[in-house]
Copies of this chain bind each other. A is one copy, B any other.
Amino acid sequence: MHSRWLQKIPPPLLPVAGFLGIIGLGTLALALLPMVHGQRLPLIDALFMATSATCVTGLSLYDIGTQFTVWGQGVILVLIQVGGLGIMLLSTAFLMALGHRISFRSRFLLQDTYTHGPTAHLTHLMRNILLFTFVFETAGALLLFLRFHADYPGLQAAYVAVFHSVSAFCNAGFSLFPDSLVGFRGDPLVNLTMAALIIGGGIGFLVLHETALALRNRKRWRMLSLHTKLALSTTAALLAGGTLLFLLSEWSETLARLPLGTKLLASFFQSVTTRTAGFNSLDFAAMDNQTLLATLMLMFIGASPGSTGGGIKTTTLGVLAAVSRARLVGSPTVHAFQRTIPEETLRRAFSIFVLAVVVILLGTYLLLWSELRDVAYAASRGRFLELLFEATSAFGTVGLSMGATPTLSFWGKWIIICLMFTGRLGPLVLAMAIQPRGKRSFYEFAEEPAMIG
């Protein structure tokens, strides 16, 4: 009965309605709770913060560690957890549906585990995701507690540890420290725990689950699904490449006065966190232009599907790389890991890439209007990059900022709210919408090519 009612809503609109509802409740809660100094948040600010938390973006108008009460921080924490779980569940369910549909041709390891009829399937999946989240977040909080315990009294240390563990696993990027994790940039325990949480939350439940099953059954790499292989290999390449980029271009700048170990740790952490988590242990205002462009690209790419992360996704990048290789080799079909990638997947990857570029450019254009109006370029040098960075960060649900967030105008806040929401749900809704349908229109137009390029 419940599921029949749900079936009447077009599937791509369900997540949109769900997220709007959560954001609405969060906005109410934040608008009603007083801040530390007794004042209340303006409604637009409450909406902004609720959207940023629910979409696990992490852009913030306030320093929540000092300006929000524990109640306000608690609302943020709940929104992060609900938003993060929600997106993980939704996109994992979609991925499973995708696997189900093609089960005649290709066999997923996972389908053995989950294909017991649709209802059992969803309940089972939900239980597993909750368990997975609980185990990761608890382990993370315990490890972080070991460190924070030295700085704070017991209960507060536990609270700070839980907050950062949830924020890291959900790739939210909210921190209770005013300078994010700059103060801990040399601390291996904090950095590696946070990095493990971010990677675990960002690679997706199915990928980890499948890898674990393959390892347990002593099955080989080739038994993994194409999806898992793409996600794992692209993530590994991005982590290594990102670390190298930060190391090389910041060696004589933000990394200059740090010992070698800290240089490596900070570069690795920044590489992990830039793609979608949005913590920082280095100061973005002091970085050079190359690093900032590399950061823009990493934010654009983001994490893996079926996870708490944003961006166009690692698998999209992997598919586009496979397309490029096919073009160079002159292969008529596109392969990866000895599998042919179907046209439908290629179409999704290209569509999401183009959509992301267009939305980010449109968002930046509107921000240039809302924030600068008729100020000439010569009088606002550098603001272009700051606002492009802000728009990309919002769309990729990253949460890094070059400092523009607290200075946003009323319309600027609305633009970022829309970008955060579109970036969170747009790629998923689009991917859901691009499915081959059974019904075809009764007549088809004749085909005719047009020249391109």
* Cβ of A437 under 8 Å from chain B: yes
B348 touches A452 (CB 8 A): yes
Please, how many angstroms separate the alpha-carbon atoms of A338 and B352 in the complex? 26
Chain B residues lying within 8 Å of A385, measured Cβ to Cβ, are 377, 381, 384-385
> Digit string of A380-410 for contact with B (CB within 8 Å is 1, else 0)?
1111110100000000000000100000000
B431 touches A452 (CB 8 A): yes
Which chain B residue has the least Cβ–Cβ distance from A206? B451
Which chain B residue has the least Cβ–Cβ distance from A293? B365
Please, how many angstroms separate the alpha-carbon atoms of A237 and B252 in the complex? 49
Selected from B306, B365, B433, B451, the residue in CB contact (under 8 A) with A95 is B451
> Digit string of A416-453 for contact with B (CB within 8 Å is 1, else 0)?
00000000001110110110110011001111111111
* Cβ of A49 under 8 Å from chain B: no
Chain B residues lying within 8 Å of A98, measured Cβ to Cβ, are 449, 451
Please, how many angstroms separate the alpha-carbon atoms of A315 and B448 in the complex? 13
Selected from B289, B327, B378, B447, the residue in CB contact (under 8 A) with A372 is B289
A450 touches B354 (CB 8 A): no
* Cβ of A258 under 8 Å from chain B: no
Interface residues of A in 131-176 (CB under 8 A from B): none
B451 touches A290 (CB 8 A): no
Selected from B292, B327, B336, B352, the residue in CB contact (under 8 A) with A433 is B327
Interface residues of A in 98-120 (CB under 8 A from B): 98, 102, 105-106
Stretch at the interface among A59-67, A69-77, A185-193, A317-325: A317-325
Q: How far is the CB of A194 from chain B (nearest CB, A)?
A: 25
Chain B residues lying within 8 Å of A431, measured Cβ to Cβ, are 451-453
Q: How far is the CB of A348 from chain B (nearest CB, A)?
A: 4
* Cβ of A335 under 8 Å from chain B: yes
> Digit string of A342-372 for contact with B (CB within 8 Å is 1, else 0)?
1111111111111001000100110011001
B106 touches A448 (CB 8 A): yes
Chain B residues lying within 8 Å of A377, measured Cβ to Cβ, are 285-289, 292, 382, 385, 402
Q: A292-B377, A332-B436, A377-B285 are in contact. Are A226 and B372 (CB under 8 A)?
A: no
Main secondary structure of the interface of A (DSSP, over half): helix
Please, how many angstroms separate the alpha-carbon atoms of A228 and B16 in the complex? 40
A447 touches B305 (CB 8 A): no
Please, how many angstroms separate the alpha-carbon atoms of A211 and B26 in the complex? 59
Which chain B residue has the least Cβ–Cβ distance from A438? B332
Q: Which of A319, A372, A431, A448 gathers most chain B CB within 10 Å?
A: A448
Interface residues of A in 272-329 (CB under 8 A from B): 285-290, 292-294, 297, 305-306, 312-313, 315-316, 318-320, 323, 327
A339 touches B285 (CB 8 A): no
Selected from B102, B253, B434, the residue in CB contact (under 8 A) with A448 is B102
* Cβ of A121 under 8 Å from chain B: no
* Cβ of A209 under 8 Å from chain B: no
* Cβ of A39 under 8 Å from chain B: no
Chain B residues lying within 8 Å of A381, measured Cβ to Cβ, are 381-382, 385
* Cβ of A375 under 8 Å from chain B: yes
Chain B residues lying within 8 Å of A333, measured Cβ to Cβ, are 441, 444-445
* Cβ of A230 under 8 Å from chain B: yes
A453 touches B428 (CB 8 A): yes
A453 touches B352 (CB 8 A): yes
A374 touches B253 (CB 8 A): yes
Please, how many angstroms separate the alpha-carbon atoms of A365 and B340 in the complex? 33
Q: A320-B354, A384-B289, A448-B106 are in contact. Are A330 and B453 (CB under 8 A)?
A: no
In the complex, besides A227-B449, A330-B433, A339-B446, 20 extra interface pairs with C-beta distance below 8 angstroms are A105-B446, A105-B447, A225-B448, A285-B377, A289-B368, A292-B377, A292-B384, A293-B384, A297-B361, A313-B452, A313-B453, A319-B450, A319-B452, A332-B436, A341-B448, A343-B343, A345-B449, A352-B452, A377-B382, A427-B452
Complex A-B: 20 CB contacts under 8 Å: A102-B448, A106-B446, A227-B449, A231-B450, A252-B374, A286-B376, A286-B378, A287-B376, A290-B365, A293-B364, A293-B384, A330-B433, A333-B444, A339-B446, A340-B447, A346-B347, A350-B350, A350-B353, A353-B357, A377-B382
